[in-house]
């Protein structure tokens, strides 16, 4: 495995973080391919199914979707679009709840291909419309298989409940502070986040993680916030993007909803005053 050279991205220029740190681009995905293209397989994997094959039916959250790679494709206008589609009742995807799956959607991640340790991790996203949608941009520790969740650590950069597109959720999960007991906050956003793109980011440094929307800081977490539990965020994590449907976090799906889209304009990782590392495996 090799550290990714920032010169190989050849795209956005360096800038200054809202915290005042100098930003240097380490890795990015700009999704400028022709319409209908899939993501670069050198960087991205797809999860498939409803979680049953990996021992977590409903992906641990009572979700109603079946993940398929074809539900994520570029739009030809610079974005990757994850499309959730209501499935016909007679589809062949037998879900954990005993009937064919209700929805198809997509989940992408960089496990085993790209890992990040510290820095600014951001995505410019337009969240979907519709009650029951659950868009997320997040990270898990690369030691997930060895130590299991939540000891691996989870950093949720963006979560929105479709029924409330004015509320943004940012959270960390670790041993003793996971699931509904995660350490985080919810903030009110004046704009309807489904009406346009917004930039969601964390600035992750040794001993702290700070959350931003459109370069506005709204929370910082440190080891003191989870004490006496263990702070599990000083090792590499990988990046995840998905559009879930239903489940305990977002609630019931609007029965009239048949289609929803999460659009991702870019994903970028920067160093902060030289702190931060991306490794391509």
Angle at 249 between CA 248 and CA 250, to 5 degrees: 100
Which are the catalytic amino acids?
Answer: 154, 159
Stated pTM of the model: 0.94
Question: From first to last of its 281 residues, what are the pLDDT tens digits of the chain?
Answer: 344 434 334 445 558 999 999 999 999 999 999 999 999 999 999 999 999 999 999 999 999 999 999 999 999 999 999 999 999 999 999 999 999 999 999 999 999 999 999 999 999 999 999 999 999 999 999 999 999 999 999 999 999 999 999 999 999 999 999 999 999 999 999 999 999 999 999 999 999 999 999 999 999 999 999 999 999 999 999 999 999 999 999 999 999 999 999 999 999 999 999 999 999 99
**For the chain, what is the HEC assignment?**
CEECCHHHCCCCCCCECCCCCEEEEEEEECCCCCCCCCCCCCCCEECCECCHHHCCHHHHCCCCEEECHHHEEECCCCCEEEEEEECCCCCCCECCCCCECCEEECEEECCCCEEEECEEEEEEEECCCCCCEEEEEEEEECCHHHHCCCCCCEEEEEECCCCCCCEEEEEEEECCECHHHCEEEEEECCCCCCCCCEEEEEEEECCEEEEEECCEEEEEECHHHHCCCCCCCCCCEEEEEEEEECCCCCCCCCCCCCEEEEEEEEEEEEEECCECEEEEC
Please check whether residue 126 is in contact with residue 170, taking contact to mean a CB–CB distance below 8 angstroms: no
- Rounded CA separation 66/87 (Å): 9
Domains for the chain: give ranges and CATH numbers. Answer: 2-280 (2.60.120.200)
């Amino acid at each position: 495995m090799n550290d990714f050279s920032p010169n190989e991205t050849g795209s956005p220029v360096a800038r200054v973080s809202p915290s005042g740190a100098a930003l240097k681009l380490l890795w990015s995905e700009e999704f400028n391919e022709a319409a209908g293209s899939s993501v670069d397989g050198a960087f991205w994997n797809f999860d498939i199914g409803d979680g049953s094959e990996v021992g977590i039916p409903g992906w641990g959250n009572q979700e109603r979707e079946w993940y398929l790679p074809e539900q994520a494709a570029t739009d030809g206008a610079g974005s990757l679009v994850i499309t959730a589609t209501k499935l016909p009742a007679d589809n062949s995807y037998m879900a954990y709840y005993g009937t064919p799956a209700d929805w198809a959607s997509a989940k992408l991640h960089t496990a085993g291909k790209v890992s990040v340790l510290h820095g600014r991790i951001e995505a410019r996203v337009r969240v979907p419309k519709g009650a029951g949608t659950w868009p997320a941009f997040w990270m898990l520790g690369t030691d997930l298989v060895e130590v299991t969740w939540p000891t691996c650590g989870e950093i949720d950069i963006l979560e929105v409940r479709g029924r409330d597109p004015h509320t943004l959720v940012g959270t960390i999960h670790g041993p003793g502070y996971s699931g509904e007991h995660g350490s985080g906050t919810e903030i009110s956003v004046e704009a309807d986040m489904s009406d346009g793109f917004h930039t969601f980011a964390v600035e992750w440094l040794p001993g702290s993680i700070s959350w931003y929307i459109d370069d506005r800081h709204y929370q910082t977490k440190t080891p003191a916030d989870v004490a006496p539990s263990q702070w599990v965020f000083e090792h590499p994590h990988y990046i995840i993007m998905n559009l879930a449907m239903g489940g305990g976090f977002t609630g019931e799906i609007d029965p009239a909803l048949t289609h929803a889209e999460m659009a991702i304009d870019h994903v970028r990782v920067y160093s902060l005053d030289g702190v931060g590392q991306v490794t391509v495996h």
